[in-house]
Amino acid sequence: MVFNSVIFIFCFLPLFLLIYYFVPAKARNPVLFAGSLFFYAWGDPTYLVLMLFSSFFNYYIGKELGKITDEDPSRKRNLIFAVVINLLILGFFKYWGFLLDTISGVTGLKLTYPQLALPIGLSFYTFKNLSYILDIYMGKTEPCKGFFPYAVYSTMFPHMTAGPIVRYTDISESISRRSINTTRLGAGAELFIKGLSKKVLLADNLSALYTTLQASGTTSFVGTWLAIGAYTLELYFDFSGYSDMAIGLGQMLGFNFNKNFDYPYISTSVSEFWRRWHISLGSWFRDYIYIPLGGNRVSTGRHIRNILVVWALTGLWHGASWNFVFWGIYYGLLLLAEKFLLGRFLEKAPVWLRNLYTMFAVIIGWVFFSQTTPAAIGKMLGSMFGLGASCFADRASLYALKSGLILMIISVISCRPGLYQYFKRLARRNTYLAAVINAILFFLCIAYMIYSSYTPFMYQQF
């Protein structure tokens, strides 16, 4: 089950909220746990046991860590054991085939293995559970007092399958005691509609434009730039749309999840871009990998190493393929260049030029992200810079430009904060008009969902 489906919006969510709001406060956690299990089992019943095992294992290890003093050497052994088990589960299901394929390519051996479906949300709930264990070890939180409250956190359906990576420390108090009311319900519903509109009205149409251009086989200059431009916007609206919907659902349930996107395409440096894009993942790698390695409080050589390690792992987290590793290293090198070479230039350059530079770097990065083979990456980059372009513009690219121009303009405007800020000011002045706008957007989304074919969220594959 996914958020952008008729069955979720008109069947699961209303029935779940009806029960959740009218049961006694003590019964809300059981209702949320049962609803989350049903939500997950609807789309991936095979791996429901795996998700529950991950919850139980990390709860138990966290409980044991809480009993052991800092001076006891077994405390570190327990931590290492927990991290290894979590990473082995993640590695087996997500990276085992990639590892064997890489060995086969290097050695010439023909290693075969059974094709296993990737459990939905595995990367997200593994990192979520790891953050709990690591926070206990570092003294940032106390172990959860019971398995059931922890399972509610670990399996909660709003952020279960594609994030954001919510940390136990952020919502521990809300798990035991939270308030729900019509104000929070309305605010959550508005944010849910915002995310749904991003996904259904913008991302899905941008996906159709990108797919059409890719299917046409165009290698023209205009066609290639239009394709990667559509992909750039699609990825933002798809993932930030999911995050908005998840955060909105959290508000409906009485939880406050931290924002996961902060208009990243207005950034004036790559460093700023990664402070605004997928914030929960960036902060996870910063707090649990980068800082423990020494961060920037080490020698220059080790600082460079730390950045490259973190970004290689960030790329690998996104997918079991070398293009994601290259994508991560690409960003690591860009961040190093900004820190050691471009810093003074960026400080003095006008804002529009810094934003242009950042978007150029980001778009190039999405080429590595979207194309899975070196040949495909080289072909697209060559077409973008005129080295392998068949022509300036062919029939397919001109038709796509004509049919998708309005969509692209609306999308560029919508990925900047001005439009939504205007809506919020309007909502404060005229709540009825804001309600009408939300209702129109909602009905447009439903009409499009019924009319068009199903399109899953892109980040659920990671």
What is the pLDDT, as a whole number, of residue 455? 67
Note the pLDDT of residue 453. Answer: 66
Spatial CA neighbour of 207 closest among 458, 462, 444: 458
Query: Residues in the chain with pLDDT < 50?
Result: none
Model pLDDT, residue 320: 87
* Cβ atoms < 10 Å from Cβ of 212: 17
CA 64, 70, 72, 78 dihedral sign is positive
Residues 383 and 374: their CA atoms lie apart, in Å, by 14
Can you give the pLDDT at residue 117? Answer: 83
Residue 439 is predicted with a pLDDT of 94
User: Which residues lie closer than 8 Å to 238 by C-beta, 6 or more apart?
Assistant: 198, 199, 203, 207, 457, 458, 459
And the tokens for 96? 């085992």
Asked if 159 is an active-site residue, the reply is no
Instruction: Give residue 98's pLDDT.
Output: 86
Catalytic choice (159, 278, 303, 318):
318
**20 exposed, middle or buried (CB, 10 Å; 0-12, 13-18, 19+)?**
middle
Q: What's the confidence (pLDDT) of residue 410?
A: 95
Q: Which ranges of 266-321 does DSSP label H, i.e. alpha helix?
A: 270-276, 279-285, 300-318
What is the predicted pLDDT for the residue at 316?
92
d(CA 217, CA 206): 17
CB 376 within 8 A of CB 366: no
pTM, two decimals, is 0.92
Of 193, 190, 331, residue with least CA distance to 271? 331
pLDDT at position 461 is 60
